[in-house]
Amino acid sequence: MPRPTPPLPLGWVLGQAEALPLVDQTIDRVLLSLVLHQIVQRQQALQEVYRVLRPGGRVCVRTVAPEVTLQAWVPFRFFPKVAHVEAARLPSIDDILTLCRQAGFHTLHTHTVCRNARVDLQKVTAELRQRKRPSYQLLTEAELDDGLRRIAQEWRAQGGQWIDPKPHVLITGVK
């Protein structure tokens, strides 16, 4: 009976998405998780992913797409101004698919996954009051108070068992 091949060592490599410090065609899988919207040169980054993938290699982009996420996600539903600002910085599903095709990927699929997180009213309220997200700093105190009031109303209407779907989109492709 043949001996199993030992697993390859794993390690971290520091670099820029637009210029990956990896040799051509040496990687089997690439996961871009909640990062594509942070990259200025998205097309160049996806071309780099294509370059380092072996033939038949796969990419998976996990993202929050504005057309799916911002209408469903608490607290964005209660703060339209914030949702608008966030949507402007997030690439749409169609934009990501186009970038993937232009980089050379084929057999592209999209799938929406919901995390279905229970809404903790105290935690949501505290985080919003701290304004951790820069876009929340755009809200006036009155807008923040009104949104928090409406969130609390919906939470109570759900008997404290309110589930936030928190949808994420997965886009997969093959080199």
Q: Would you give per-residue pLDDT tens digits along the chain (175 residues)?
A: 666 666 666 778 888 999 999 999 999 999 999 999 999 999 999 999 999 999 999 999 999 999 987 778 888 889 989 998 888 889 999 999 999 999 999 999 999 999 899 999 999 999 999 988 888 899 999 999 999 999 999 999 999 999 999 899 999 999 9
Distance in angstroms (rounded) separating the CA atoms of residues 164 and 86: 18
Global pTM? 0.85
Fold annotation for 27-174: Rossmann fold (3.40.50)
DSSP 22-44: S-TT-EEEEEEES-GGG-S-HHH
For residue 57, the surrounding DSSP H or E stretch is strand 53-63
Phi/psi-derived region of residue 159, left when phi > 0, alpha when psi is between -120 and 50, beta in every other case: left
Q: Sketch the domain layout of the chain as residue ranges.
A: 27-174
Is residue 72 within 8 Å of residue 167, measured between CB atoms?
Answer: yes
Burial 74-112 (b: 16+ CB within 10 A, else e): bbbbbbeebbebbbeebbebeebbebbeebebeebebee
Nearest Cα neighbor of 22 from 42, 55, 41, 48 is 48
